Amino acid sequence: MDNTGIGIIGCGIWGTIHAQTFSTSPYTRIVSVCDKDKDKAEQLSQKYGAKKYTTNYQEVLSNPEISAVSIATPDHTHTQIVLDALNAGKHVLVEKPLATSVKECKQILAARDASDAILMVDFHNHWNIPFIQVKKMVDSGELGDLQMINVRLNDTIFVPTKMLSWASKSSPVHFLGSHVVDLIRWITGDEIIKVYSVSRSEVLRKKGIDTQDFYQSILEFSGGTTAYVENCWILAENSPNIFEFKGDFTGSKGSTSVNVSHHRMIEKYTEQGTGFPDVSGVVDRYGQALGFCTASIEHFIDCVRNNSQPLVTGEDGLVATQVVEAMEESARTGHPVDLQTIID
């Protein structure tokens, strides 16, 4: 089978991880990359050996050599690009969140259904080894019936103020909360039926970034499990890691705790401070990307080559956005929000 021709739209931080993965896979070749910023597109094309680069994503979609595209543009820009890609018959791997409204997610699913294309949302924690271990404990019954979950997925203030130029168009729940909703739906195998959230907007607004500082949410699952979820964008910038990701899962027969942020597998003390370098997300092994963040992209490649459905579907993207929208509504109104089943 020939190598699959790939296009990458969005050549920022995460588009670079897609490019690194596709460029070292024996099954793919990057045909063209696109970014609104010509310099970024040109640099990525040179670094990862793409034949072409462009500032107009339609040129990627009309290229017959390309059968699959990765879309790694800002959260609020996914919808039109995904719709155009599906309508052009390209298989699509889109970064999380699928889109920032339920209405847009439904439009995307309708376009996927009208095409023969594969659509995958890059919720890569399904490949994150500590969470795979938790899922196995839950599925085997070792923990008994899951009663209570606590998950904190937080970023330092560096992320909305210095890393993302578009933070005011997203929020801690779209950027971080969507990951957690997807993670705990997957681990429980259950659906969220009620959402209570509070948020505050003070610190970032004072810095001119019009989005929430944090959300604290309680989610109730149909089977009775409850989850407390924290998503914040204002951790201290001098925290030892750019993000904090911790989870506690308490069942009727046992409990387990995960810390994929301050795991301390490697400790580093230098003149710049203390740090715990990444050992699992994306590690460059002499030019080859290794880790769970690349494993999800490799899974998409397998699906395209085998014409099989991905482990994370457009429906997972839709439900994550439905729950995030409910978090926003609950925080705005001060009332809990009941959720109806949105997928078959």
Ligand X SMILES: NC(=O)c1ccc[n+]([C@@H]2O[C@H](COP(=O)([O-])OP(=O)(O)OC[C@H]3O[C@@H](n4cnc5c(N)ncnc54)[C@H](O)[C@@H]3O)[C@@H](O)[C@H]2O)c1
Site for ligand X contains 241 (CB under 6 A)? no
Q: How many residues bind ligand X (CB under 6 A)?
A: 25
Q: Which residue has the tokens 């992320």?
A: 159
Minimum CB separation of residue 160 from ligand X in Å reads 11
Among positive and negative, which fits the CA dihedral 27, 90, 114, 77?
A: positive
How far apart, in whole angstroms, are the C-alpha atoms of residue 237 and residue 177? Answer: 20
Minimum CB separation of residue 55 from ligand X in Å reads 7
Task: List residues bridging with 34 in a β-sheet.
Answer: 9, 54
Per DSSP, the three-state class of 231 is: strand
Minimum CB separation of residue 64 from ligand X in Å reads 20
Measured from the CB atom, the residue of 123 and 221 that comes closer to ligand X is: 123
Cβ-closest position to ligand X: 12
Task: List residues bridging with 200 in a β-sheet.
Answer: 214
Minimum CB separation of residue 15 from ligand X in Å reads 6
Find the part of the chain contacting ligand X (CB under 6 A) among 4-12, 23-31, 305-313, 320-328: 4-12
Binding to ligand X, residues 70-129 (CB under 6 A): 72-75, 77, 95-96, 122, 124
How far apart, in whole angstroms, are the C-alpha atoms of residue 284 and residue 311? Answer: 25
Minimum CB separation of residue 11 from ligand X in Å reads 5
How far apart, in whole angstroms, are the C-alpha atoms of residue 101 and residue 324? Answer: 9
Structural contact between residues 5 and 29, judged by C-beta atoms closer than 8 angstroms = yes
Measured from the CB atom, the residue of 251 and 291 that comes closer to ligand X is: 291
Minimum CB separation of residue 102 from ligand X in Å reads 17
- Tokens representing 125? 């924690």
Site for ligand X contains 11 (CB under 6 A)? yes
How far apart, in whole angstroms, are the C-alpha atoms of residue 224 and residue 149? Answer: 11
Site for ligand X contains 233 (CB under 6 A)? no
Estimate to the nearest angstrom the gap between the alpha carbon of 46 and the chain centroid.
Answer: 26
How far apart, in whole angstroms, are the C-alpha atoms of residue 323 and residue 192? Answer: 8
Find the part of the chain contacting ligand X (CB under 6 A) among 30-38, 59-67, 105-113, 185-193: 30-38
Measured from the CB atom, the residue of 9 and 102 that comes closer to ligand X is: 9
Site for ligand X contains 160 (CB under 6 A)? no
Structural contact between residues 89 and 64, judged by C-beta atoms closer than 8 angstroms = no
Binding to ligand X, residues 50-69 (CB under 6 A): 57
Q: Which residues bind ligand X (CB under 6 A)?
A: 9-15, 34-37, 40, 57, 72-75, 77, 95-96, 122, 124, 164-165, 175
